[in-house]
Chain A
């Protein structure tokens, strides 16, 4: 789960990490009051969306940049008015962009030096890793590509935790000295503890800056959390912003279905993430276009299958449905019952190709046959893909 920059900064502030002072607004009428709370004559105005690359992003009304500097209250207010409710497109949002429902004002600080700092899981060692660089404020992927020696990674043994020598090492590698070095060590410790205690999957500060008066301040903040661990963090779950998520994906998650909207016209319903991806791949391979990724999981009930149909059919682009089930835990007769139930509850007006294999496949196929619903039933995945493409593009 992702949270907004302003929420991440509130988390930082709660554990005494300095951030540029700021106020978030969700409505136009909140602008004057918000600007009065910041004692500065220059402001940074930042669109709050769950995507990176905001600075280089473009709004649909042609305003360039989701992060702007304003020289006066009036300018800050005008920029916020343009951003709020507008749609921002960045290299991470896709061509449709994201609607901006919140704008963050912050004081403009004078930067001495910029750094990069992140805590995340290293997939190779299965351990948390702290990643730092003196090349802050740039795209870290580009730094990794051009000057990989400027990126320092320190692995943390989760059973030992972050040790003082490790935070010292990171601090000195970045060139901090004296009082600032101990301040930086403290920040690294605090962030690792936050990462660990809140089950974060990523904490990223880019840039972390030093100011001319020697403070170390987080100018930006990106924090995301492990979905599997949200059950033990009700406080984090409260920060979830449903506006940032696709409504169909929210609806799907209510029923424990894993749905990702795509832009094709052939809907898929599959059990298992790997097979769901492979089903999308084979549709594409034979010249079709998948409308979604949908994994109904290992133990779906008839009700979940019915809901899954409702969700995929609510996408008006869908011109056909391919159901591909290889039953392990999932029993084919449950899928069949779900299809029949869904067909009764909602009219399935598009062609339906069903491929069942695995546990209770014979009962499942018999149920479908006897239901009287118009179904193109096939035995192999390639046949299923070819048939649905033919039915969708007659």
Chain B
């Protein structure tokens, strides 16, 4: 009852010796995630937490451990190189937590990614968790509970908000994933909703979006034609002032599609239930879904 990760996912952590990398690698291990190696160039041969081997390169780590997933904490100026390294080593799932990677670097990564079999989640995201089985990310563990509702979001903390609303009322999640708030992401809302739609153990879907771009509109088009499962959306940024984040010519490309209101309308027209506030996501879902 999950998408992308489960108990058998074999994970390495790139940047495991950094402050955030070390802290969250340990947290993931405590949760029961199958962390089997780390990569920090120059520190190959060392050992993390007395049992996890550290390698100089991703290829080496994959050769020695058989890893099929990587969690990336490498700082922004080196992050794209680390992602390219993971794609080159044919890692199936690349989860990038790093915030602040230059757009140009991600544009290059994205073309390489398109020619590979790897899936990337993020960057600038909280990661992915299949409650009770596997956590690859920085989300607080205790708020999650195994269950049948899938959650996809561009925002980290707003995802926690939705998860906590479910868990504190006794309902669990199949998988929760944060796809990241950057202009270029590896996995889109549509990709995640497609996976949830095809997952037999996910019964309902919560989708959280925000202003800018047109990922939510694309998802709406997919939902309209393909999704029969109950689905609720919350879009953040109704009060966000215009012209603060979107450039002048950017508006040409998105053709007036970037505002919260436009996204809400498009989703509602696709049959998605809209939560009026971030606090009412669960209530809105339970109006259309009987768990």
Contacts and interface: CB of A to CB of B under 8 A. Distances in A.
Interface of A: 52, 92, 94, 118, 120-124, 126-129, 131, 140-141, 144-145, 151, 153, 157-159, 196, 199, 201-202, 204, 222, 224, 226, 228-229, 231-232, 260, 262, 270-275, 277-285, 290, 293, 297-299, 326-329, 357-359, 380-382
B105 to A, nearest CB: 8
Interface of B: 20, 24, 76-77, 99-108, 110-112, 126, 138-140, 143, 153-158, 160-161, 164, 181, 183-184, 208, 210-214, 218, 234, 236-241, 243-244, 247-256, 276-280
Contacts, number: 185
A120 B247 contact: yes
A228 B112 contact: no
27 contacts: A118-B252, A123-B213, A126-B107, A126-B184, A157-B111, A272-B155, A272-B156, A272-B158, A274-B155, A274-B158, A274-B181, A275-B156, A275-B278, A277-B155, A278-B155, A278-B236, A280-B240, A281-B236, A281-B237, A281-B238, A282-B279, A285-B276, A326-B161, A329-B138, A357-B164, A359-B140, A381-B161
Nearest to A280: B239
Contacts of A270: 157
A297 B24 CA distance: 16
Contacts of A380: 279
Contacts of A126: 106-107, 110, 183-184
A382 B247 CA distance: 33
A290 B183 contact: no
A8 B183 CA distance: 24
A145 B251 CA distance: 11
B112 A131 contact: no
Given A229-B104, A277-B210, A141 B181 contact: no
B277 A328 contact: no
Contact of B279 (A199, A262, A381): A381
Given A124-B214, A199-B104, 12 more contacts: A120-B247, A128-B107, A202-B249, A226-B104, A272-B157, A274-B154, A274-B157, A277-B236, A279-B278, A284-B239, A328-B126, A328-B157
A328 B112 contact: no
Contact of B214 (A123, A128, A229, A279): A123
A364 to B, nearest CB: 12
Contacts of B102: 199, 226, 228-229, 232
A122 B254 CA distance: 9
A328 B181 contact: no
Give the 4 A-B residue pairs with the shortest CB-CB distance, closest first: A274-B155, A272-B157, A229-B102, A382-B279
